[in-house]
Structure 1
Amino acid sequence: MAVKQLIEGSVEIAAPPEKVWALVSDLRRMSEWSPQVLKQIVLGRSVKHGTRTFNINGQGKLRWPTTAKVVEFEPNKKLAFKIVENRSVWTYELEPTAAGTLLTESRTIPNGTTKFSDVSVDKGLGGAETFEASLSVGISTTLERIKAAAEAA
């Protein structure tokens, strides 16, 4: 299966990086932003490098659990977590701009996916191309929801 190594999107937000960071780094709120994340449970009191999460994801009527570990945590700049089951890394990068913050979300698979993930995507999610297209749309939705929340307050 050909898996795209990078899917990403960016949005400019009229809010300072500290405000955007407060939203992005609160992984308990991920289900408010991402259309695929139904619940993200943070294991521990706070999010930091090494924090683990248990996640319930969904697409249509399909549901599946995943676990993740925060692999990069640089306040007001970068947060990344790796999904154990498929080795994908989801990253949020914040850059200050004249208007506020440029927020970029990306999904990479630096070491390829697992066989289990490949079969699951092929059999349950319509294949890699269809699934990756849905992830791209999901990134856009996530970014727009974070933007709306950051600019509303």
Structure 2
Amino acid sequence: MTDTPMKVGSLFEVRAEVTIAAPPEAVYATVSDLPRCGEWSAECNGGEWISGTPGAVGAVFRGENYRSREVVAWAPVVRGTWTTEAEVVAAQPGRRFGWAMRDSAGRAQESVWSYELSAAGPGAEGTALVHSFWMGRATEGIRGITAEMSEAERAEFFSAWAAKLASEMQATVERVKGVIEQS
């Protein structure tokens, strides 16, 4: 197995967007509160800050996750409950909050999730919330999942995983909208 990228460019670049009837500061306060993410995430059930100032650049969050057997059922991905660690890499109140997934040695990987916030477009009130995921080089986990796959199987996996991410991220921003607008 090699540590080189599995394909040229980004492995994943996925985004979802929604407009929320609340100011950017209120939306930021919600999405940067990672222990609450179980209220809107398809996989992360929540977790806890384990080091640093919660929500600040450099802080580390341990998330508890769950994935069912049906998710890309043919691929050898983690099923059931597992934990991850993420390091905050962007914390600009009212504008951007992002975190990079860490590898088993505690190093940030090219696997970055973020929320970008801006005033809603002309004639609209509230906040435009964009949820993004970017993966450059294959992470430790992706390398393990795809290590025994043929090129065709890898292509099928990346396509299926991108579709899964797009669907779940759109559902996530819709749930964030519901949480904020109902509070």
Query: What residue identity is the alignment partner of 2:26?
Result: K
Which whole-Å CA distance do the structure 1 matches of 2:26 and 2:182 have between them? 11
Counterpart selection for 1:69 from 66, 87, 97 = 87
Equivalenced residues, count: 150
- What residue in structure 2 maps to residue 92 of structure 1? 115
Residues 80 and 92 of structure 1 are in contact (CA less than 8 Å); yes or no, is this contact kept in structure 2? Answer: yes
Sequence identity, in percent?
A: 30
Secondary structure of residue in 2 paired with 1:143: helix
Counterpart selection for 2:31 from 20, 24, 28 = 24
Instruction: Please report the RMSD computed on the Cα atoms of aligned residues, expressed in angstroms.
Output: 2.1
TM norm structure 2: 0.73
Task: Indicate yes or no: 2:149 matched with 1:142.
Answer: no
Which whole-Å CA distance do the structure 1 matches of 2:159 and 2:66 have between them? 17
CA shift, 1:122, in A, is 7.1
Task: Identify the structure with the greater helix proportion.
Answer: 1
Task: Indicate yes or no: 2:48 matched with 1:48.
Answer: no
Larger radius of gyration between Structure 1 and Structure 2? 2
Which whole-Å CA distance do the structure 1 matches of 2:21 and 2:147 have between them? 39
Structure 1 residues 40 and 65: alpha-carbon distance in aligned structure 2, compared to 1, 3 A threshold: same
Query: What residue identity is the alignment partner of 1:105?
Result: H
Residues 12 and 162 of structure 2 are in contact (CA less than 8 Å); yes or no, is this contact kept in structure 1? Answer: no
| Structure 1 alignment gaps of length 5 or more | none
Counterpart selection for 2:143 from 103, 118, 126 = 118
Q: Which runs of 4+ in 1 moved over 6 A?
A: none
Residue deviations 1:34-89, cap 9 Å, x none? 11112332124521111101122222041332111000110011001000135310
Which whole-Å CA distance do the structure 2 matches of 1:99 and 1:141 have between them? 21
CA shift, 1:27, in A, is 0.7
Counterpart selection for 1:8 from 2, 6, 15 = 15
- What residue in structure 1 maps to residue 135 of structure 2? 109
